[in-house]
Chain A
Amino acid sequence: MKLANSPRAHACVGTVLVLGALGCDGQILGKSDTSGPGLSSDPSSDAGPGSGAGVTNTGPTDDELRAKDPGLFDIALKYFPDQAAAPGKKRLFRLTRQQLDLTTQNLLPKHYGVTALASLPRDPLQTNYEYADNLSFSAANFTPLTEWVEQMTAKVKADPASVVDCAADKNSAACLQTAAQDFVRRAFRGVASDATLTRFSDFFSASVAEVGIAEATADLVNITLTSPGYVFREEVQTAADQRLLPVQLLQNLSYTLADSPPEAVGLTAPAANAKALRDSDVTQAVEQVLATPAARAKLLRFFTTWLEVKEPQDFDLSASVYPEFTPAVAAAVVDDTRRFLTAQLGTALPTLRDVTETTNALVSAPSAFLYGLSTAPSDGKVALDPLQRLGIFSQPAVLASHSGPTTTRLVKRGVFFTRKVMCLPLGAPPQGVNTTIPAEVMGTERQRVESVTNEPRCLGCHAFINPFGFMQENFDAMGRYRTMDAGQPVDAAINVDFLDEGPLSVSSPVDALRGFTRSLRFQQCFTRQLFRFYSGRDETAADDPLLRQLFFEFAQNSAQDIIGMLRHLAAAPAFNSRSEAP
């Protein structure tokens, strides 16, 4: 008998981190089966909820941080003041469409074809992120899921031996049972009780007798891929110290960092009798996941999601006002930015500075005109005019994603920066405030906006919004550099006094971007945004101790070490622990 595994799984055998052997000699905290009963089991057999003991945040203490850099620590404390650490709440996390793709690709490489991304409707996004709370099934995505699975199982029916191959054993009952259980265990990433496995394998055996091996195997795949054990991962089973059980913890790491199942990033499930993982095991697992291409691909997705870079078909520029911004140009600018991020984030130790402060870009033939070029070099690499552009915030894909349809939408650009790039609080306009720019107000977009926002009750918000918008006025709605607007010179000068570094007074977008992206406020916002994206939720006050450490280490000595921040985040006990909501 053999269970036909994916080639990828076989390829991983030599490099897997066998956690069951490495780190399972600690205190056993639950029952012997620490894989946990998961989503389909007898609740009496689980390790039960944690004892309620608080989570100790490892890493440097506040005193140690303060000793390293008192000034920076004070700022860290200003942004992240709370002291009591607590784990995130227990939750059921439906796999995102990306995760469904990578998980299925790993499980059924021969049959995976059409992507979940293309087959299932987009999930509701909050601050452009896929939050666990909002991921579930409804009439809108249930049928697309079943149809997506159906087209794969049709292929399985034509090649059942790729999933269950008991031919050598003449399809003996024992072989079929074992093969079915092996498939389900693997599909459920190790989170399946014996009772669950028996239920699936019994059904499979009965099916073979009823409809034959080909259809029975296809049905086995179908019921497995649509089971809660496959499409959800649970962060509910914890040990007494609130730490996720080993198998759930590995899933937390692999999906959080790489959108992939543990097996696909070379992690194997602990043995059935595995105990709690040691911190060193977790650290090693984090390193292993972070070293994978999948982790870098997810990092790229973080940047495009954080910066709300649109898909080519979603740009909102009016074809009549900006006829040059054709679908081909839209596709090119997005691809330029993705290739740029791939290059900048693909180094061993990428820093945020590599993304925000470089004057290099990748340009393609359709997008060259946006940079004032008649053509693009063959390798696409262009050294930009350092007086005009700086880093990703001056790239057309980012600029045009927040423009349009007929203007630069200065305020919208500013609101994006305020909320998403600098994390400044912003409410709705107060009652009775006129947010209209009268049609008779002529001049540059800046002048028009200033004409209606320069009154005291507006400046509460527009003191933040406007500078961020004004500094981008050298870029038109498509992201093309310009010096004139409505027949008058563009005035991109700004003066702000809300940075920890003191007042900033600059007159060009490059100087403004340099000032903002080097600021500690920007770096604390980056810390928050990265936490939100990777955690699938908003931060709470109980996350402050961890966020304080992340921010401090990120900002200290201007390190801006992105991988270092992910490493610290994923290995933190608080990140791998869960408690019921208070």
Chain B
Amino acid sequence: MKLRKGLTRRDLIKSFGPLAFVLLPVARAMGYAPGGAFKGAPRFVMFFIGGSYHSPSVRPASIDALSTTPLAPLAPYAKDLVVFQGMRIHGGSPKSDGYQEEHGAGLIGCVTGNDYHYSKNDSYYAYTDHESIDIAIANAYQARPELAALPFASLHVGGGAHSDADNVGLGQRYISYRKRQAGDAQYGNAIEPVQNAGQVYDQLMQRVNLLCAKDSNQPSTDNSAMVAALARKKSLLDFRIADVNAAKTALGMDSEHAHKLDGLLDGWREVEKANDAELAAAKSGASGASMACPAGARPTGNGQNKNNLDDLSPVHDQMIELVKLAFAWDLTRVVAFTLSGASSGERWPSQGVNQAHHTLEHSNDVAGQNIMGRYYSEKFASLLKALGGIDDGDGHTALFNSSLVLGMECWSDSSSGHYLKDIPFVLAGQGAGAFQTGRVVNANGRSNNDLLVSVQRAAGIDSNVFGLASLCQGPIV
């Protein structure tokens, strides 16, 4: 996608004078205004790959020694990385209130740093009451006036987002959680990722089309029909939202039954937000004109219910392009990207890996694990490359203005352990200047909570705790 400098919000106000206030929704939706200089509030990505890398294979002596590890595809980005060694999840042992196992602990610990429960004594029945880091950051951004009107508070995308045994229980499927509300069902606070790339594309392009420059040489046309159609859509949306709220009221607004309708309500509110922005743009006749409209075909990949990386690879590639699109147009600042659940059932037949990753771990198939490890590194590198291709202005790219966590759960070695220690987390991007990258950091047994603290501080959340306070010492980078 070609980038060029264009209108910032300030430009908009300068150009349109008092009319700019009419365009306020557009301006706010533009955030920093794509193409303009990026300001503060770094983007955040949780890039969750499921089972950990084979930990002993990922112990580079320095950041320049990645090429002999499964992180090799990340070597070109070494200066943008912090590779952790000796980092733990949950302090090395599950922090549940009863039954304990490490797959649920690994996933939930990775994204929340917090404790959790099991509804049955089985690894597939883990669940949590606590907020994940992506949601915490998204909520914090929503509370900031300059970011509140971002089209999407957070994006939750993926491909292969399930464990090897989703048909047992859902405890190892989700990487994003909001805080539990009274009456939530067991997984009522979990957020299902969208695995259909076309669906994500449609969602994003609806907003991009409001912002992009179509053909600025064309004389303005009569768009009264479009305004009327959007106004009609707005009245339908008003009716729908009132309809859902009436149902919630009937059920007791704060009851668990009413909460069950929140997904429907959230969906309509998202549509309303988009429609309002479109209506404002149509009324003003503004076309954004900050960057050229992206060209390209609608992607068709769907990662649902797939565990073969030969099938998932194009889906992951498409999702990476969509994350780039979202960031380039400042449609969101937070992305959760699920490449697998915990106890990963993924395999890679074309590379001779016919066993599920989970099986590879417990079979001490180090070669197989490392082949798959390289796959996840390649995809993470693709994401870094994509972000590196976004010009944020002021000499920086989106990679500089982002914090990306390459997350994972427990690992296993030849004796079939489930280890929550020595997890090779990777932090990428400079968090808009918050992080000194290009190094290997020995965590010396500190928990990933401190990594989450680091990214939340970069996001402007002034706290030295994320998740269980007992696991936090403060930012680690």
In-complex Cβ contact of B239 among A94, A141, A203 (8 A): A203
Candidates A133, A203, A316, A318; contact of B188 at CB < 8 Å:
A133
Q: Do B166 and A37 have beta carbons less than 8 Å apart?
A: no
Asked if A432 lies at the interface with its beta carbon under 8 angstroms from chain B, I say yes
B192 on interface, CB distance cutoff 8 Å = yes
> Knowing that A41-B246, A437-B363 are A-B contacts, what are 13 other residue pairs whose CB atoms are under 8 Å apart, sorted by A's residue number?
A46-B250, A92-B261, A124-B187, A127-B167, A133-B187, A134-B170, A134-B185, A146-B271, A228-B247, A232-B261, A321-B354, A406-B355, A428-B122
Whether the Cβ atoms of A128 and B167 lie closer than 8 Å is yes
Interface residue? B194 (CB, 8 A): yes
Task: Determine if A92 and B257 form an interchain contact, defined as CB atoms under 8 angstroms apart.
Answer: yes
User: Which residues on the A side are within 8 Å of B202 (C-beta)?
Assistant: 143
Complex contact A137–B185 (CB within 8 A)? no
Whether a CB of chain B sits under 8 angstroms from the CB of A136 is yes
Contact with B along A1-42 (1 / 0, CB 8 A): 000000000000000000000000000000000000111111
For residue A320, CB closer than 8 A to chain B, the reply is yes
**A232-B260 in contact given A143-B203, A406-B355 (Cβ < 8 Å):** yes
* A319 touching B349, Cβ below 8 Å: yes
> How many Å lie between the Cα of A234 and that of B232 in the bound state?
31
Per-residue CB contact flags for chain A residues 415-457 toward chain B (1 = under 8 Å, else 0) read: 0000100000011110111111100000000000000000000
Report A-chain residues with C-beta under 8 Å of the C-beta of B232: 210-211
Enumerate 19 A-B pairs (CB-CB under 8 Å) in ascending A order.
Answer: A39-B250, A40-B250, A41-B246, A43-B249, A92-B261, A133-B186, A133-B187, A134-B187, A141-B192, A142-B270, A144-B196, A203-B239, A222-B236, A227-B240, A228-B243, A229-B243, A236-B251, A319-B349, A405-B355
Chain B residues positioned under 8 Å from A419 (CB to CB): 168
Contacts of B169 in A (CB 8 A): 126-127
Q: Given the known inter-chain contacts A234-B257, A427-B121, please indicate yes or no for A139 contacting B247, CB distance below 8 A.
A: no
Nearest neighbor of B158 in chain A, beta-carbon distance: A140
Interface string of B93-111 (1 = CB under 8 A from A): 0000001010000000000
Q: Judge whether A137 and B264 touch: CB under 8 Å.
A: yes
Is there contact, CB below 8 Å, between A124 and B261?
Answer: no
Residues of chain B lying within 8 A (CB to CB) of residue A429: 416
8 A-B pairs with the lowest CB-CB distances in the bound complex, closest first? A142-B267, A137-B263, A133-B185, A39-B247, A128-B167, A228-B247, A140-B192, A92-B260
B318 within 8 A of A: no
Residues of A within 8 A of B333 (CB): none
Taking the nearest CB of chain A, how far is it from the CB of B259, in angstroms? 9
Give the residue of B249, B266, B362 whose beta carbon is less than 8 angstroms from that of A436: B362
Q: What's the Cα separation between A134 and B236 when bound, in Å?
A: 28
Tell me how far the C-beta of A477 lies from the nearest C-beta in chain B, rounded to whole angstroms: 12
Q: Are B166 and A125 in contact (CB under 8 A)?
A: yes
Q: How many A-B residue pairs have CB under 8 A?
A: 162
Contact-size category for B: 35 or more
Please tell me which one of the listed residues B168, B264, B417 contacts residue A142 in the complex, with CB atoms under 8 A apart.
B264
Shortest CB distance B405–A (Å) = 21
> Which residue on chain A has the smallest CB distance to residue B258?
A92
Residue of B nearest to A318 (CB): B354
Contacts of A138 in B (CB 8 A): 191-192, 263
Interface mask (B165-177 → A, CB under 8 Å = 1, otherwise 0): 0111110010000
Q: Mark B365-390, 1 if CB is under 8 A from A, else 0.
A: 00000000000000000000000000
- How would residues 202 to 217 of chain B score, 1 for a CB under 8 Å from any chain A CB and 0 otherwise? 1100000000000000
At the interface, yes or no: A186 with Cβ under 8 Å from chain B?
Answer: no
B236 and A219 contacting across the interface, CB-CB below 8 Å: yes
Q: Is B50 an interface residue (CB 8 A)?
A: no
